[in-house]
């Protein structure tokens, strides 16, 4: 009976650190994505209106474009 109990305790004990590690990893990835997007918004806000127009954006669309809510349309210039 003691052997069965030790096996159950060992399996439950090894799952908790993996879950915690995954949650911490997901948290750090979320934080990294947040700062990456913030820096992208700042960089795009530094561009002038002509440069934004060249990439197919208006100033009011910057945050939405960084978060993937706006697709850049191709203008088909040749």
| Three-class secondary structure of residue 74 per DSSP | coil
Domain ranges across the chain? 2-66
Output the pLDDT for position 18: 83
Q: Look at residue 78 and tell me whether its pLDDT is greater than 50.
A: no
Q: How far is the CA of 4 from the CAs of 8, 43, 67, in angstroms?
A: 6, 59, 51
Q: Look at residue 8 and tell me whether its pLDDT is greater than 60.
A: no
pLDDT tier for residue 45 given thresholds of 50, 70 and 90: very high
Output the pLDDT for position 33: 94
pTM, 2 dp: 0.64
Q: Indicate if the alpha-carbon torsion angle 34, 39, 42, 44 is positive or negative.
A: negative
Name the helix (H) or strand (E) containing 8.
helix 2-46
Q: Which range is least confidently modeled, 24-33, 43-52, 63-72? A: 63-72
């Amino acid at each position: 009976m003691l052997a069965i109990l030790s096996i159950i305790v060992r399996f439950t004990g090894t799952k908790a650190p993996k879950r915690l590690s995954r949650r911490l990893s997901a948290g750090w990835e979320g934080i990294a994505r947040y700062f990456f997007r913030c820096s992208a918004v700042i960089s795009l806000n530094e561009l002038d209106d002509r440069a934004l127009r060249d990439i197919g954006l208006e100033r009011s669309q910057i945050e939405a474009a960084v978060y993937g809510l706006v697709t850049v349309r191709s203008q088909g210039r040749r």
